[in-house]
Amino acid sequence: MKNFLPVDPLIENTHWLAIHHPQPDYPLHILILSKQGIAAIEDVPGDNLDLNKDFLKIITSLIIQFDLNNRGYRLIINGGPNQLVPLLHWHLVSDQGSDSRA
């Protein structure tokens, strides 16, 4: 995946990679990308508990790292014709910018 997007990961684990969006729509705009080649949310295997646990770990870490409980945030997923890239991904966004680009 890093071969396609020339960015530094904020955090990653076996199933997910989080990066700053290369063309952000918000002052803080992070993409959380599936590393499993899952196309859409309806394709997520319901029995893969590690995938879901790893997702929650990444989201929790990012919320803490960027102080999003105080700044406010939204976690967005697009689907159907609104999903422009055929890879499962989430947008963690905040209308308030962040001083940390760690």
Q: What are the tens digits of pLDDT across the range 69-80?
A: 999 999 999 998
Number of structural domains (the chain) is 1
* Residue 15 located in a structural domain: no
* Residue 61 located in a structural domain: yes
What is the pLDDT confidence band of residue 1, given thresholds at 50, 70 and 90? very low
* Residue 8 located in a structural domain: no
Put simply, whether the predicted model's pTM sits higher than 0.75 gets the answer: yes
Domain region containing 55: 26-39+49-80+89-96
Q: Encode pLDDT of 20-69 as tens digits.
A: 998 999 999 999 999 999 999 999 888 889 999 999 999 999 999 999 99
- Measured between alpha carbons, how far is 30 from 75 in angstroms, rounded to an integer? 10
* Residue 33 located in a structural domain: yes
Number of H helices, E strands in the chain: 2, 5
